[in-house]
């Protein structure tokens, strides 16, 4: 249900909807908040080895620093998108920014790994409050002829955050501001969040509240349960020695997922609100694309988690050196995003297949570079495979999303977009778990103190998962293209 944005000067129910003069300032506020969220995803990767040493965390603990954020963000996207319809998108957006700022402060003062993981989970939930509202607000405050420019700024912001995050994280940790080590990477969000809230209150126009919009509580609980049953065993299974109950949890995710599907269909038959529209769940093109989206995004966060551990703990690079080593990937994503904006909606299937194949070649190249290492890192050896991987990902993502959503009815487009973002985040959580499991299983105890050849073999083995995942995406893209042509 779309929300009508009412400019401050037009409060009457019969007033015309003039062009909102403060739309670009409002857009800037939303981009700042989005940048704060996006940069937090990338900035944490280079900090993981530092916070592991400082807090005495296990390998599983640092996996959960990344996975807790992604998992809670994934769980919150669908219900909080609906909450924006119910309570007004400006209200929910500002609550999300405020909550994210508070959670960042809690991360920055966390005395142990348990509190840090809990605060990261809250960060993910509050980020899920912000994210669905921004596109919806922009859709309403901009006239049709300005929307293309406005939406391209979201992609540009994401690319800049990807480039900036690792380097900024490395700089803040290396500077050791006031002896706080890794903590400033979270505390820096506090002034940014305060500015965004103050500017948002003034410049984002208020939206109409819709108290009659329903909320699918049972659907939310079933979706959350399914994700927890699936991801928790993958992250913690190795820690517990793979007991029977871990496999029981994994198996239980299948019936809960099926129950969620049946519940959504029942809600549709009764004409009641659904967390994910039944028409979307029955769309073969969408479901196939959602699986490919999950697979595509299962490789990237997991790759950069194990790569940060490999570079810093395995080969002794500083956080800043680690961030600079991985920077070619971010530059590649940004470059491909700029090219994608120029291509618009042309050659979607071809771009999807070519992008996925570039990712496959890049992973083979990265395995070769890692295998050729001796006792030290040669940074420029990583430039070509990481830049190629960034180009591949930046080419694949927009092509995949537009191909998947092209077969969705207009009335379900909003829900389908939110659902696709949830699959994306689910894939990220699963990838952190699976690639972390493959990588850390090579070490007898903790990774710290292990010889460098073990790190090399661990990373080369983990990269096999990426090769397989991206190959399947390329093949799946060809199938999607064939269906679309038919």
Model confidence band, residue 304 (pLDDT cutoffs 50, 70, 90): confident
* Range 338-365 average pLDDT: 82
Indicate whether 276 pLDDT > 90. Answer: no
Indicate whether 284 pLDDT > 70. Answer: yes
- What confidence tens digit (pLDDT) does each residue in 316-350 have? 888 778 878 888 887 888 788 777 666 666 777 78
- What confidence tens digit (pLDDT) does each residue in 427-465 have? 776 777 788 888 888 876 666 667 888 888 999 999 999
> What's the pLDDT score for residue 235?
65
Indicate whether 61 pLDDT > 70. Answer: yes
User: What is the C-alpha separation between 43 and 310, in angstroms, rounded?
Assistant: 16
Tell if the pTM clears 0.75, that is, is over it.
no
- What confidence tens digit (pLDDT) does each residue in 80-131 have? 877 777 777 888 889 999 999 999 999 999 999 999 999 999 998 998 888 8
Higher-pLDDT residue of 150 and 35 is 35
What tokens appear for 386 in the block?
Answer: 């990481």
Indicate whether 351 pLDDT > 60. Answer: yes
> What's the pLDDT score for residue 316?
83
- What confidence tens digit (pLDDT) does each residue in 121-142 have? 999 899 888 887 776 677 677 7
The three-class DSSP label of residue 9 is coil
Mean pLDDT is lowest, of 24-28, 175-179, 245-249, 254-258, for 175-179
What integer best gives the mean pLDDT of the chain? 79
DSSP state of 450: -
CA distances from 175 to 4, 42, 57, 448 (A): 46, 18, 22, 23
- What confidence tens digit (pLDDT) does each residue in 29-45 have? 888 888 888 777 767 87
Nearest to 296 by CA among 439, 457, 426, 150: 426
CA distances from 238 to 52, 160, 195, 217, 242 (A): 18, 36, 43, 33, 6
- What confidence tens digit (pLDDT) does each residue in 374-417 have? 777 777 888 999 999 989 988 888 778 777 766 665 555 556 66
> What's the pLDDT score for residue 190?
92
DSSP 47-104: HHHHHHHHHT--HHHHHHHHHHHHHHHHHHHHHHHHHHHHH-HHHHHHHHHHHHHHHH
Model confidence band, residue 365 (pLDDT cutoffs 50, 70, 90): very high
Greatest pairwise CA separation for the chain in angstroms: 73
> What's the pLDDT score for residue 13?
36
């Amino acid at each position: 249900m779309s929300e009508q944005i009412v400019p401050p000067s037009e409060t009457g129910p019969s007033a015309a909807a003039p062009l909102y003069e403060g739309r670009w300032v409002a857009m800037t506020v939303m981009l700042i908040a989005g940048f704060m969220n996006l940069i937090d995803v990338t900035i944490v990767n280079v900090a993981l080895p530092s916070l592991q040493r400082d807090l005495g965390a296990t390998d599983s603990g640092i996996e959960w620093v990344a996975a807790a954020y992604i998992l809670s963000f994934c769980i919150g996207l669908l219900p909080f998108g609906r909450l924006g319809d119910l309570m007004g998108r400006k209200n929910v957006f500002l609550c999300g920014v405020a909550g994210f700022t508070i959670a960042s402060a809690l991360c920055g003062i966390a005395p142990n790994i348990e509190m840090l993981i809990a605060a990261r989970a809250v960060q993910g939930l509050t980020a899920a409050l912000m994210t669905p509202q921004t596109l919806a607000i922009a859709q309403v405050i901009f006239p049709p002829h300005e929307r293309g420019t406005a939406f391209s700024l979201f992609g540009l912001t994401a690319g800049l955050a990807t480039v900036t995050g690792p380097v900024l994280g490395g700089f803040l940790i290396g500077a050791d501001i006031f002896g706080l080590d890794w903590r400033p990477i979270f505390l820096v969000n506090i002034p940014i969040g305060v500015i965004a809230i103050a500017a948002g209150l003034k410049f984002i126009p208020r939206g109409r509240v819709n108290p009659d919009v329903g909320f699918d509580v049972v659907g939310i609980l079933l979706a959350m349960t399914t994700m927890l049953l699936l991801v928790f065993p993958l992250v913690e299974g190795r820690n517990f020695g793979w007991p029977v109950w871990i496999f029981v949890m994994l198996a239980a995710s299948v019936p809960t997922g099926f129950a969620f599907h049946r519940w959504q269909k029942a809600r549709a038959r009764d004409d009641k609100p659904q967390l994910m529209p039944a028409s979307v769940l029955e769309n073969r093109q969408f479901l196939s694309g959602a699986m490919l989206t999950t697979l595509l995004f299962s490789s990237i966060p997991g790759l950069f988690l194990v790569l940060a551990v490999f570079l810093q703990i395995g080969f002794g690079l500083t956080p800043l050196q680690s961030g600079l080593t991985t920077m070619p990937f971010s530059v590649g994503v940004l470059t491909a995003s700029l090219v994608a904006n120029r291509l618009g909606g042309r050659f979607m299937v071809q771009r999807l297949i070519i992008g996925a194949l570039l990712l496959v070649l890049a992973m083979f190249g990265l395995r070769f570079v890692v295998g050729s290492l001796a006792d030290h890192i040669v940074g420029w050896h990583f430039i070509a495979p990481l830049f190629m991987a960034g180009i591949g990902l930046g080419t694949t993502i927009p092509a995949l999303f537009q191909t998947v959503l092209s077969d969705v009815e207009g009335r379900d487009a909003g829900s389908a977009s939110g659902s696709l973002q949830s699959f994306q985040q689910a894939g990220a959580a699963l990838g952190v778990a699976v690639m972390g499991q493959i990588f850390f299983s090579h070490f007898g105890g903790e990774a710290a103190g292990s010889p460098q050849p073990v790190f090399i073999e661990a990373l080369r083995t983990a990269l096999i998962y990426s090769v397989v995942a991206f190959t399947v995406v390329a093949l799946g893209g060809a199938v999607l293209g064939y269906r679309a042509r038919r």
